[in-house]
Amino acid sequence: MPAQPELTDRERQVLEAVIQSYVETAEPAASRTLSRRFGLGVSPATIRNTMSDLEEKGFLFHPHTSAGRIPTDLAYRVYVDSLLRAPVIKTAEQQVLGDEINGASSAIESILRRAAQSLGVLTQELGVALGPQLDAAILQRVELVRLASDRLLMVLALGRGVARSIYIELPVEIADDAIGAVGLVLNERLAGLTLREIQKSLALRLRDAQATGNASELLNIFVEEGEQYFANATRPDDATVVLGQPSLLAEHPEFATGDSMRQLLALTEAPAQIADALRRRSPQPGITITIGNEHGDPRLDRFTIVTAEYHFGSLSGVIGVIGPTRMSYRKVISLVGHASRLVSDLL
């Protein structure tokens, strides 16, 4: 990221006031309004000159002919990195979040769905959760199930209720006893390994396995193509992305026009795009925030994504919110951080 222009103490003070005003009102901030609301200790003329300097440095801009100014992505970046006071979650919000996430079902998908929904409601943004990356998951058991004469289903049990299913096409019909024999070999050779280890070394681990007849043919399929099957098992799909209520975002003034609403709908109807955006980001300890053009994707230029990692044994995923760049960062950060801890505790 390019070096940010230096800010004087007054510029930082005015910038913080502009951001707070814009987040609260969604209206461009004018110097007289800032002077009246924030008691900055200088005249409106001085504030106006400071705002002009901030605009020249790339922190503010005029949205149209308005006399006021609004923050740029760079301004929000400086705000969350160096101006934002330490986030503190309110006791009432902490209680609501805990009650909502602690539901009847302990399945990971249910927990993530409850967390995304409750985060969205409390922040009035789009709650989002991404299922855990499975390449570090440890295989407990393999089960081969016949679906048709030319098709098998391979079920990978990964522990704690997590499983992945892979379809295997057969060039010839394989007898049931041969399927059972190969299932035994796979369990003997692969159970206890991570999916990443299996993907890298499957052929080597199976090469000296003894099998006859149909079993030999099926085992050969795993030797030649099995690494791809296990690669497919770790590849995320749309089902690994859980979204809250898009209607909450639609209430924001940023999406009042037809074009902006279409952009919002396009985003919420493409969970794979959201998953890609989440995975491209470099996770940081604690909270990870990407703002506007930092995503490197024009479809996300209007949005900020705030996430935190949750942990599930040796696995991890992310939970957070997506909203317009004008958001209550302090509140969102505190809630996302608390939600990630609650999810980790439940899993």
Residue 126 located in a structural domain: yes
Domain boundary among 214, 234, 254: 234
* Average confidence (pLDDT) over 207-226: 85
Provide the pLDDT for residue 60.
95
Judged by DSSP in three states, 166 sits in strand
Provide the pLDDT for residue 236.
63
Q: How confident is the model at residue 332 (pLDDT cuts 50, 70, 90)?
A: very high
Instruction: Supply the CATH number for residue 177's domain.
Output: 3.30.390.60
Percent of the chain with pLDDT over 70: 95
Neighbours of 267 (CB within 10 A): 21
Kindly state whether residues 55 and 190 are assigned to the same domain: no
Kindly state whether residues 114 and 230 are assigned to the same domain: no
Residue 3 located in a structural domain: no
Residue 325 located in a structural domain: yes
Provide the pLDDT for residue 239.
57
Kindly state whether residues 340 and 247 are assigned to the same domain: yes
Contact present, 132 and 313 (Cβ < 8 Å):
no
Q: How confident is the model at residue 238 (pLDDT cuts 50, 70, 90)?
A: low
CA angle 48, 52, 55 (to 5 degrees): 135
* Average confidence (pLDDT) over 99-104: 78
pLDDT value at 1 more than 60: no
Domain that holds residue 36: 9-83
- For the stretch 179-205, pLDDT in tens is 999 999 999 999 999 998 998 899 889
Give the span between the Cα atoms of 310 and 305, in whole angstroms: 16
Q: How confident is the model at residue 50 (pLDDT cuts 50, 70, 90)?
A: very high
Domain boundary among 204, 234, 264: 234
Q: Which of 272 and 324 is assigned the larger pLDDT?
A: 324
- For the stretch 278-316, pLDDT in tens is 877 766 678 999 999 998 888 888 899 999 999 887 778
pLDDT value at 13 more than 90: yes
Give the span between the Cα atoms of 301 and 167, in whole angstroms: 38
Residue 1 located in a structural domain: no
Kindly state whether residues 200 and 339 are assigned to the same domain: no
Q: Exposure of 18 by Cβ count < 10 A (0-12 exposed, 13-18 middle, 19+ buried)?
A: buried
Partners of residue 151 on adjacent β-strands: 148, 169
Count of domains observed in the chain: 3
Residue 4 located in a structural domain: no
State pTM to two decimals.
0.82
Q: Give the list of residues 6+ apart from residue 345 with CB closer than 8 angstroms, or none.
A: none
Average pLDDT, the chain: 87
Kindly state whether residues 245 and 329 are assigned to the same domain: yes
* Average confidence (pLDDT) over 68-72: 93
Contact present, 2 and 14 (Cβ < 8 Å):
no
Kindly state whether residues 22 and 79 are assigned to the same domain: yes
Contact present, 173 and 194 (Cβ < 8 Å):
no
Kindly state whether residues 229 and 242 are assigned to the same domain: no
Kindly state whether residues 184 and 322 are assigned to the same domain: no
Residue 114 located in a structural domain: yes
Kindly state whether residues 316 and 275 are assigned to the same domain: yes
Kindly state whether residues 312 and 332 are assigned to the same domain: yes
Judged by DSSP in three states, 144 sits in strand
Give the span between the Cα atoms of 58 and 71, in whole angstroms: 9
pLDDT value at 78 more than 80: yes
* Average confidence (pLDDT) over 161-169: 85
Kindly state whether residues 188 and 310 are assigned to the same domain: no
Residue 21 located in a structural domain: yes
Provide the pLDDT for residue 70.
94
pLDDT value at 157 more than 60: yes
Instruction: Supply the CATH number for residue 69's domain.
Output: 1.10.10.10
Instruction: Supply the CATH number for residue 243's domain.
Output: 3.30.450.40
Partners of residue 152 on adjacent β-strands: 146, 168
Provide the pLDDT for residue 207.
84
Residue 111 located in a structural domain: yes
Kindly state whether residues 149 and 223 are assigned to the same domain: yes
Provide the pLDDT for residue 237.
58
Domain boundary among 203, 234, 265: 234
pLDDT value at 104 more than 70: no
